[in-house]
Structure 1
Amino acid sequence: MKKLLFTIAILSLITNKSKAADNYKKGDYLCVVSLNGLNIRSTCSLNSKIVSEIKFGSKVEVIDDTLSNVPLSIKLKFSPTNMTGFWVKIKSNNIEGYVFDGMLSQINYSKFGYNFSYKKILGIPKIDTIKGISEPINGIKYPYQIVNKSYNSFIQLEQKEEWFDACLTVTEIFKNISFNEAYWLILLNLYNDDGTDLKIENKEGIAVAERYTCS
């Protein structure tokens, strides 16, 4: 999963004059949260010239938050749900241009490095563990373990780990951040995990992720 790529598809292009977003304003500094980095373009179009490329963790300044908005709906590799966002005009290293705000965050996750974990940024979770033996399945009983982890920091995350017959299913629910930010946070957490079957859904604005591995 080290090459976390996704395919971009423009599903809607609607032009109007309004606020680009509610979670940032002109003069704010945001950080690139996509591991693949982000292209700065000359205009609000994926067909426009790329004037610069900025890396994961790079800081950019919002220089105009009231634009002719072009809502984008982006198809993601690990989700049946599209990511939506807007073009925003930014400045980075004296270069001005437009970027997709779905790849920006107020948090600079790069400072945690590539050995990233939820515990590094959210602290130690409250843990509740349940162990038992299953009912017979084809005449065989299997040990199981359920671990519920609750992170209650500036990001609220409920994580459930279910171990059954050497297989692990993990369900994660992000309660107080956007689907866009949660999507990138989940991929950061799995950066060094090459054997995970991952699905991330947007359920009424709440990001719900499920991943499955077997040893």
Structure 2
Amino acid sequence: MHVQQKPLPGARTPTGTSKASPTSRAWGLIAKYAAWTVALVLGISIPLVVLGERFDLIIRDWMAAPESSLAVAAIGIALLVADLLLAIPSALVIALMGGLIGGAAATIAGTIGLSLACVWGFMLGRSFGRDFSSADDREQKEFSTATGLLKQYGLLALVVARPVPILAEISVIAAAALGMSAAPVLITTTLANLGIAALYAFVGATAEGWLGIALVFAAATTLPALALLTMHFIRQRKRD
């Protein structure tokens, strides 16, 4: 995320630099998201393959200590807050917490992490205001999309955007930049975060083995897909 700055009087424009194409930036974002996903999956899969049932026993013994659950929740919350600026797959983070500390605890931790990210995003949007911009064409396009949806549908746009990577974060920043009141925005996103966190957390809590990992991936991809379809339907109705 960046803020556009006007050049100082008499300042020279740098030469010899080339701007990456929107396509290359898009692939860079996809690669970053994929890298986080692969890292999380390998972190689960490799010990499971190498240690087998012993891994399950080790995890159970470690999680028996109350401080272990708090550590998992704290790390999960930190990752979810960092997702505002980093392409971290929040669905997998919450699902992993669900498998380690249970569905209810992971729902609470997931809601806190996602909602703190919304507060941070709203503060960024309020601070930068309408000068908010991005050097990344893809993010700028997402910002324009979020702004258009917010102007047309208000708080409903925030709910629909919550499961969608990148757009979820940018929509909160855009809401602040548009001057929307903090209380309605943050209450709406918190309630939406609660539902999303509960879904991913309980999928993770009930997941077992490779089938469980497949269910987590299915949930992590299906919900954003449904949200995108909903936005497409909304746009089609607007055009008609």
Task: Name the TM tier (shorter chain).
Answer: under 0.3
Looking at secondary structure, tell me which structure has more strand per residue. 1
With normalisation by structure 1, the TM-score equals: 0.23
Relative contact order higher in (CA < 8 Å, ≥ 6 apart): 2
Greater percentage in helix: 2
- The alignment's TM-score, normalised by the length of structure 2, stands at 0.22
